[in-house]
Amino acid sequence: MPTRSEAITRGVRVSVTARYSPEYSDHSRRKWFFLYTIRITNEGSRTVQLLNRHWVITDANGEVEEVRGPGVVGQQPVLKHGESFEYTSGCPLETAFGSMKGSYEMQLDGGETFNADVAGFALRERDDAIN
């Protein structure tokens, strides 16, 4: 699985790049920390707002954690046609490898909501494989 992913849902493009963060990791405490940068671009004709996030995080032992909550990094960005929002966040794991996937609940300017996919991407300490 690559450390990058991209998905387009109803004109909302979600691009992800993930990387290992040695400065926030502590192997002696079984803590591996990963940073991921996400860029959300509205390629559709209507204004959208990100309301909620849903993540499915799986570690190398097959343990799954689901995270749900409002917005991203404390924000619920509104994106007009052609606008983008980018942020970086982090994910701790108890293993040196894992993966994430999820979705953003988006609301169109008329009130209709839909889920914009975040395609799966790898979280790994070593990047020996080709992305």
Q: List the domains of the chain with CATH numbers.
A: 4-124 (2.60.40.1470)
CB within 8 A of 115, min separation 6: which ones? 9, 54, 103, 104, 105, 106
**pLDDT for the residue numbered 23:** 96
In this structure, the strands spanning 12-20 and 78-79 are: unpaired
Q: Residue 126 has what pLDDT?
A: 79
Band (pLDDT 50/70/90 cuts) for residue 127 is low
What's the pTM value of the predicted model, to 2 decimals? 0.93
Residue 131 is predicted with a pLDDT of 38
